[in-house]
Structure 1
Amino acid sequence: PVIDAVNRHLEKNKSTLTQTEKYIIADHMRAVAFSITDGVMPSNEGRGYVVKKLIIEMSDILLRANIKKPQVSNFIDVVANIMNKTYPEISKKSSNIKNIIDSVENAYIKVRKEKMPELLKSVKKSLTNSNKLGELFFSFRDTHGLTIDTITEILSTISVDKNILDTAWKQYHVLMEKQKEQSRASSKMTGDVFIESDLDLNVPKTKFLGYEQTSANLTLLKLFKENQEVDFVEKNDKIQIITDQTPFYAESGGQISDTGYFRANDNEIRILNTQKTNDIFIHLGIVEKGTFKKNDSVQGSVDNIRRLSIIRNHTATHLLQAAMREILGTHIAQQGSYVGEDRLRFDFTHPTAVKKDELNQIERKVNDFILACDPIVIKNLSLDEAKKEGALAFFAEKYGDIVRVVVAGNYSKEFCGGTHCQFTGQIGLFKIISESAIAQGIRRIEAVTGTVALEILHQQEDLVEQLAKKMKSSKEEILPKLTLQQKRLKELENQLASQQWQNIQETINNILENKKSIKNIDIISSNFKNLDMNLLRKISDSLKKKSSSSIIILGSHTKDSASLLLAVTDDLIEKGFKANELILEVAPLINGSGGGRPQLACAGSSEPAKI
C-alpha cells in the first residue's frame, strides 16, 4: 500500500523512481511512523539521529526525482490505516507525526538548496586535491546533512579525474570512521564512576534507604583513593566509598545526586556526589576531619534542605508533564530531564514553540495541582500492570520486571525511581522561566519551585520598582510612558535617517564617477559610517537605477561592528553573477558571514577595521 501511494504521487508529479527506491521509502516510512509514535524524535544523537536520517533519505530520493515540495508526511496515513487494528496509536498521533516529519523535511530542503551550489563551487576549486575533496564530502555530509547520492549527483555535473575521486572517497571514509569512533567513545555511560577502571567492586548490592529516611548507620565496605583500594584515609584525602546501605540518592533518571556527611565521633567526610554502577552506590567525598578505616561504622546524613529542593523540582516535573498533556495534547512525551536543587528542565515532543498564553495556562494548571495538596502515592507493580494502569514511561530508560510508579491525584502516573514529595502542596510555588527549541520537534521548558520561585518573583518585582523610579512613574504608568518614549525615539530616528539620506543623495553621482570597470562590468563601491542596513539598501536601489551591468558593494561600520551589502543588476544575474554567491567570497575578508538572494545579499562582522 505504501508503494501504491508513492506511485500515485509520482504519477501526479510526472516523476519516476526505481523499484528499489520505492521499497526504501516504504521500509523507512514504517520505521519512522513507529519510532515517532513511541517517542523517538528526530535529533542529532542516538536513535533520534537514525529517525532523522531516514526522513532525509526519503526526502532526498523524492527531491532527486524532481519532486520539489515536501511529500514524505503524505505517506503516514497509509501506514496508519494498515496498522490501525494492531497499533492504533499511529492513527491517534498521525497529525503530530506529520508535523514532525514536515519540520525535518522542510529544513533539509532548505539546506540542500543552499548547500548544493556551495559544494559545487568548493569542489571546482579543489579538483586536483583529493584530500581536500574528501574533507569537503565529509563536511557537507556530516555537518550539513547532504546525502551521498546528492553529493554524487553534484559530482556528475563536472569532470573529476577518476583516480583523484577514488582517493577523495577513501579520505571521506577515513574521516567518517574517525568521527564514528569519537561518537562511540563519547556515548559510553559517564554516570558510572569506575567505568573502564580496574577497581574491584566485588561487594553486595547497596541497600538504598533514601525513600524512607535521610540518615542511617552505615558500614564502610571499601575505600578508594586515587583509584586504588586502601585500608584507611585521612584529612584532605579525596576518596570514593562503598557502604552496605545508604540514604544517599545516586544520580540517575535526570535527578542529581544527594550530598551530605559521613560522621563518626569527631571524624567527618563531606560527600560531594553519589553515583552507582550495577546497583552498587559509590560516594565521592573529601575527608575534612580525622581518619577513617575499612569496616568503620559511620552515621550518613543527607543534606536535607538540599534534598527537599530537589524533590520539589522532581515532583513538579511530573505535574508539568500532566499539565502539558492536558493543555497541549497527549502527543507530549518526555525526551529528557534535569532535576537539580535550583531548577528543573523538561524536554518534550512538540512541533512548534509553546505560545505565551499556553505557557500561562500550563503554569496555572501546575499551581492548581499544588494547591490541591494531593497525596503522592508510590506503587511497586509488574511492568505489565503498570502499563495497563496507563503509567507513562520515558522511552530512553530501561525497566525491570517490577517498576516503581509515582501517582499524583488522578492526573499524573509515571514510571519513576526518583525521590518525591509526600503531597503536591509541599512544592509551594511553580514558575516557568524559559521555553525554547533544542532540536527539530523537541522543545525545552525550564522552571523553578518553592523559595527559588519566590526569590525570582521578588527580583522581578524589584526590577519593576526600579524601572518605575527611573521613569518617575507608578508601576501602572510604566508601559504607557515607555510606549510614548519609544514613539518619540522612532520619530527622531526617522528624522535622522531622512537627513542622512538627503546628505547621501548628494554623493550618489560621486560614487558612480568613482566606479571601476572590469571586462565591461562596473564595480561600484563606497564605505559609510554609522549607516544601518535599510539605508544601505536605499543607496543600492538608487545606484542600480542609474547603472547597468554593475556589481554594487557598500560597507558601513560603527565602533563595534561592520556591515556589507552586495547587489547585482539583473542583466549580470542572467550571465551567472549572483549576489548570494559573491557574498560568500567577500564576507571572509572582514571575518564575517552572510547570505541572501541573487539580486542582493548582506554580511556582518564584529571587526569594523577590516571593512
Structure 2
Amino acid sequence: MQSSEIRKRFLDFFGVRAHRYYPSASLVPHNDPTVLLTTGGVQQFIPYFLGQERPASTRAMSAQKCFRTPDIEDVGDWHHLTFFEMLGNFSFGDYFKKEAIEWAWEFLTEDLKIPPERLWITIFEGDDDAPEDVEAKELWKSVGVPEHKIFGLPKSENWWGPPGETGPCGPCSEVYYDHGEEFANGDPTEDSKYGPGGDEGDPRFLEIWNLVFNQYEQLKDKSFVPLSKTGIDTGLGLERTTAAVQDVLYVYDTDVYAPIFEKANEYTGISLGDSESTDRALRIVADHARGMAFLIADGVRPGNQRREYVLRRLIRRAMLQAHSRLGMSPRQLAGLAETVVDYMGDFYGELNSARENILRIVTGEASRFVEIYESGMSLLASEIERMRGGYFPGDVAFMLHDTYGFPVEVTREVLAERGLSLDEAGFEAAMDAQRERAREAMQGYERVVAAFRDQEIRSRFVGYEREQVETRIVAIEPVPDAGGEVFVVLAENPFYATGGGQVADAGWITSEDGQLEVFDAIPAGDYQVLRARFESGAFEAGDAVTASINRVRRQQIEANHTATHILHWALRAVLGQDVVQAGSYVGPDRLRFDYRHAGKVTDDEVGRVQELSLQKITENQPVRYFTTTLEEARNLGAMMLFGEKYSDLVRVVEVDGFSRELCGGTHVRGTAEIGAFKILSNRKHGADLYRIEVITGRDALYYLTGATERAEEVSEALKVDIDDLPAAVGRLREEVRTSREAAREHALKQGLEEVGDLIEGARQVNGTRVVTGQVAAADVRGLRQISDDVKNRLGGPSAVVLAAALGGKAVLVANLHPDVSQRVEAGEIVREVSGVLGGGGGGGATMAQAGGGNLEAIPEALARVRVILDQRLADPE
C-alpha cells in the first residue's frame, strides 16, 4: 500500500464518521508572527480548543504539511526529517476517548491491515497532579490489546498542554509499531526501558499515532479541574505509518522518498547503499527537496531573516551535498524539487501552481551558492592548512562569511568532515563587532537625527508596565538607502531600546489603515527611535496607532536577562569576589557573559555555578525593581559596571536580596519563569578574560532533550547503560588510540621500508636529487615523517614529493631542501597540482601539503610534479 493510498483511506475513514475536512494550513502560520512555521496538525485548530472561535463542525480531520527546524542539522541519518505530513482527527466537545481509541484501532488493523500483534500502546502513568489514565488503558484492552503491551509513561512523554500558563490540557496515548524481536535490546515485559517510549526501545518500536485527550483545565496555581467540554486531538505521522504498513525499518526506505532517489539515480548513477557518504547525501537532498518545494509553494523566498533564512539554509545545505558528494548541478537539484511537485501535486495543488517558481528559485539560489562554494572552498582549504590546533579561527570563518558570502554552516560541516571544530566564540565576537558597526552607522544618519531634533520630540517609555499601548506617531522619517523602512518615534513607547547588553524589543505598530513591523529600537537621548518596515498601508506623524511588543520574544529576553544576574551572582559565589563583569549579550536565543577572573576556572567550578543558578531558579525567588539614589544603591551593595556613567537616580533590580544590580533592562517577576538553565560553554579569551554562554527555558529543554536522545543512541550502539557511558567511551577511546597507533606504526614501518627503493630511484636534475612516488602511510604526520627520512638520507639539495591514500582521500606532501626552495617553493608545487586531485592545498617554501577526493589521480599528480620540477630546476638561475 502506497503512502497516497494511506492518506486517502484515513480521510475516507473519518469522512464517513461525520468529520469535516479541513485542507492543510500553510506552512507560514496565519496571523501569528510569533510562530516560525507550522509544526503540527493541531495548530490551525488551537482557537477552537481555547474557545476563542466556534468551529463549523464539532468533528474535524486534516492532512497537514509540517516543518520542524530543530532537526535540520540532524537530517542525513536514517531517522530525522524536516518536512513531514500529519494526519489528524479532532473533536471539539463531541466524542471522547472511547470513539478515538476504537476508531484508531479499527483504522490501523482493518483498513491498513497492520497485524494487531504488531501494535503496542503507551498511556499516562499518573503523578501527584493527575491520576493514571485507567480509562484509556481499559479501552485499549477492550479492543484487544493485551495488558502486557500497554505501558505507562510520565508527563514528559504522555501529556499535552496547556498552550500557555493556563488552559486545556490532558493525557496522551501513543500507538507504536513493533518491528520485531530481532531489533530488540532487551525484553520489554521484564524491563520497561526496552518497551515503547523507553530509553532503549529503538529501533524496535516506532511511534506512529498520538492521541491527546483534552480533559483538564490547568489553573494559575497549576492545579487541574475537569474541562466542561472535552476534546480530542490526534496526529498520525504519514511517513512513519507508511514505514509500518510497508514493514520497513526506516522512513527513507518507503515509497515516500522513492521518486526522489530514482531521479537522483537518473542524474548521477548513485543509489542508496553505494556508500555511507553518498547515502547520507541522498537522504539530505531527499528531505530538503520536499521542504524547499513546499516552503516556496507557500510563499517563502530565500533571505536572511526567520523563515526566509530557513529556506536559504535548506537549499544551500542540499546543494552542498548534491554538488560535493553526488556531482549534481543546481538545475538537477531543482529537478528533485520538481519531482516532489510531480508526485504530490495531485493532493497539494499549490505545488502545481508554484512549479515554475520552485524551479527558478531553487536553481537560482543553488547556482549562487555553488559560485560561493567554489571560491570559498579554496580559501577554506588554504586556511585549514595554516591551522595550529583543532579549532578553526572564528575571525577567519567570519571573513569567509562576510566578505565572500561563504555560509558558516558550510564551514562547520567541512570542518566536521575533517575532524575539526570552529572557534564559535571568535566567530560570534566578529559578528558582534559587525552588528555594532552597523548600529553605529544606522545612528549616524545625520539627516534623520537632525529632523527629529528640529521637531522637539517628546516621548515616554512605558515598556516596564505595558506591552501594548494606544499611542500616536510623533515623528516618522524614511531610512536612507533602505526602501520600505522608516524611523519612528511614539508619544508613548512600549519597545525597549538596545542597552545594558539587552537587545531591543520587536513587534508591531498598527492603525486602521496599515501595519509596521518593528525590528529594532535605538536609544536617542530622552527617547527611543524605532526602526520598522512597512507591511501594509501608510503612516504619518500624528496618526493614532496601537504599539504592541512581541510578547513571546520579550519573555525569552526577560528570562535570559534575569538569568544573567543570577549567573553573575553564582560566579562570584563560586570563584570569589574578584569576578568582574566585562560585557554581556542578552537576547531571546541565549545569554553570553564576559567576566574577568585571575585564576583558572575548572569544570567542577562551572558545574557548581550551574547547580547554584538552578537552585535559585527553582526556588522561584521574587524579582523586584525600584528607583533610588545612586548613593543609596551603593549603600545597598548593588553591582555596578566599572567605567559606566550613572545619573543621580538609578534603577535597581533585586532578586530576593541575594543579587542587586543597577539595570535598566526587563526581567521576569519570579525566577521560576526562567525555566531550564544550561551552561553551554565557558572559554578563556585572554589572560584573565572568560566568556560563558547559557541557554534557558524552551531552548535549554530542546538542547537537553536532544543531548539525552544522542546519549541514548550512543548507549544503544555501545550496548551499555547510559550511566556507564563515560567509562565505556573512555575505554573505546583508549582502544581506538591503541589501534590507531599500531596501524600508524605498521604503516610507518612499511613506508620506511619503501624508502630504500625511493632513494635508489632518485633522479638528478641539475645537482638536485628528486624523489617522487606513492607510499603507504597511516596519516599525514606519518607521510611527512617518511618524506623527512627520505630527504635526510638523500643529503644535500633534494626535492621529495610523496603521495598517499588516507581516509579515502589523496594527500600529497612536498618536502624541499632550503637550497632547492630558492628556485621553487613547496607551496607553489602543491597549489599547481591540487586541482588534479580535486581539492586544494598550500604551505611554505620548504614544506607544503595538498589533498583531494580523486584517489585515481595520484599518478597524474605525481607526473605533473615531475614536470614542474624538471622545468623549474633546469636553469640554476
- TM-score when scaled to structure 1? 0.58
Residue of 204, 210, 216 corresponding to 2:469: 216
Amino acid at match of 2:827: A
Distance 1:441 1:560, change over 3 A: farther
Give the alignment of 1:97-496 within 5 angstroms: 190=440, 193=443, 195-198=445-448, 199-201=450-452, 202-227=455-480, 237-265=484-512, 267-350=514-597, 354-395=601-642, 397-479=644-726, 481-496=728-743
What is the TM-score with the length of structure 2 in the denominator? Answer: 0.41
**8 A Cα contact 2:638 2:661, kept in partner:** yes
Alpha-carbon distance in 2 for matches of 1:225, 1:308: 30
Q: Is the 8 A contact 1:193 1:282 kept in 2?
A: no
Q: CA deviation at 1:479?
A: 4.5
Deviates more, 1:282-291 or 1:309-318: 282-291
Taking a change above 3 Å as real, the CA distance of residues 562 and 382 of structure 1, as seen in their structure-2 partners, is farther
Are the aligned partners of 1:584 and 1:593 in contact in 2 as well (CA < 8 Å)? no
Give the Å deviation of 1:253. Answer: 1.8
Q: Given the superposition, is the C-alpha separation of residues 400 and 474 from structure 1 closer, same or farther in structure 2, using an over 3 Å criterion? A: same
How far residue 593 of structure 1 moved from its aligned partner, in angstroms, is 5.7
Structure 1 Cα separation of the partners of residues 851 and 600 of structure 2: 30
Deviation sequence 1:14-56 (CA, Å, 0-9, x none): xxxxxxxxxxxxxxxxxxxxxxxxxxxxxxxxxxxxxxxxxxx
Pick closer, same or farther for the CA change 1:331–1:528 going to 2, 3 Å: farther
Distance, in Å, in 2 between the alignment partners of 1:441 and 1:194 is 34
What's the offset of the Cα at 1:518? 8.5
Q: CA deviation at 1:304?
A: 1.4
| Residues 552 and 479 of structure 1, relative CA distance in 2, 3 Å threshold | farther
Question: Does the residue aligned with 2:447 lie in a helix, a strand or coil?
Answer: coil
- Alpha-carbon distance in 2 for matches of 1:359, 1:560: 40
Distance in structure 2 (CA, Å) of the matches to 1:306 and 1:360: 28
What amino acid maps onto 1:411 in structure 2? F
Counterparts of 2:616 and 2:721, CA distance in 1: 34
Taking structure 1 as reference, are residues 295 and 460 closer, same or farther at Cα in structure 2, changes over 3 Å only?
A: same
Q: 1:439 to 1:488 in 2, by over 3 A?
A: closer
Amino acid at match of 2:477: F
- How has the CA–CA distance of structure 1 residues 485 and 590 changed in structure 2, closer, same or farther, with 3 Å as cutoff? same
The AA in structure 2 aligned to 1:299 is T
Deviation for aligned residue 1:588: 5.2
Instruction: Quote the Cα distance in structure 2 between the aligned partners of 1:291 and 1:209.
Output: 25
Q: CA deviation at 1:255?
A: 0.9
Report deviation, 1:448: 0.7
Letter in 1 for 2:447: S
The answer on 1:586 being equivalent to 2:826 is yes
Q: Cα distance 1:385–1:479, how it changes in 2: closer, same or farther (>3 A)?
A: closer
| Contact 2:570/2:609 (8 A) holds in 1 | yes
- Rounded to whole Å, the distance in 1 between the matches of 2:751 and 2:535 is 72
More off after superposition, 476-485 vs 340-349: 476-485
Secondary structure of 1:459 counterpart: helix
Report the alpha carbon displacement of residue 450 of structure 1 after superposing the two structures with TM: 1.4
Report the Cα distance in structure 1 between the residues aligned to 2:545 and 2:823, rounded to whole angstroms: 69
Q: Which moved more, 1:340-349 or 1:195-204?
A: 195-204
Residues 463, 494 of structure 2: 8 Å contact kept: yes
CA distance in 2, matches of 1:188, 1:226: 13
CA RMSD of aligned residues (A): 3.9
Larger relative contact order (CA 8 Å, sep ≥ 6): 1
Contact 1:213 1:247 survives alignment (8 Å): yes
Instruction: Provide closer, same or farther for how the CA distance between residues 284 and 486 of structure 1 changes in structure 2, counting only shifts above 3 A.
Output: same
Contact 1:536 1:554 (C-alpha < 8 Å) held by counterparts: no
Distance 2:578 2:765 in 1: 60
- Residues of 2 paired with 1:371 and 1:225: CA distance? 47
Q: Which amino acid aligns with 1:196?
A: E
- Count the aligned residue pairs: 409
Q: Distance in 2 between matches of 1:533 and 1:329?
A: 45
8 Å CA contact retained: 1:221, 1:244: yes
Residues 530-579 of structure 1: CA deviation (Å, up to 9, x unaligned):
542442365357557756556674544545564647587xxxxxxxx699
Q: Is the contact between residue 625 and residue 653 of structure 2 (CA under 8 Å) also seen in structure 1? A: yes
Q: Are 1:335 and 1:348, in contact at CA under 8 Å, matched by a contact in 2? A: yes
Q: What are the superposed Cα offsets for residues 151-198 of structure 1, whole Å, 9 maximum, x if unpaired? A: xxxxxxxxxxxxxxxxxxxxxxxxxxxxxxxx9x98696185453335
SS for the counterpart of 1:399 is coil
Structure 1: 5+ residue runs without aligned partners?
A: 1-182, 229-235, 569-576
Kindly indicate whether the alpha-carbon contact (under 8 Å) linking 1:583 and 1:594 is maintained by their aligned counterparts in 2: no
Paired residue secondary structure (1:220)? strand
Please state how far the C-alpha of 1:474 moved relative to its aligned partner.
3.9
Which amino acid is 1:207 matched to? R
Q: Percent same amino acid at aligned positions?
A: 26
Q: Closer, same or farther in 2 for the Cα pair 1:399/1:527, shift >3 Å? A: farther
Give secondary structure in 2 for the equivalent of 1:348: strand
1:275 counterpart letter in structure 2: I
1:449: Cα distance to partner? 0.9
2:295 alignment partner in structure 1: none
Shift of 1:447: 0.6
Tell me which amino acid in the other structure corresponds to 2:705.
H
**1:197 is paired with a residue of what secondary structure?**
helix
CA deviations on 1:188-242 (whole Å, 9 max, x unpaired) are: 96185453335510333421111122122211112223449xxxxxxx9533221
CA separation in 1, counterparts of 2:822 and 2:706?
49
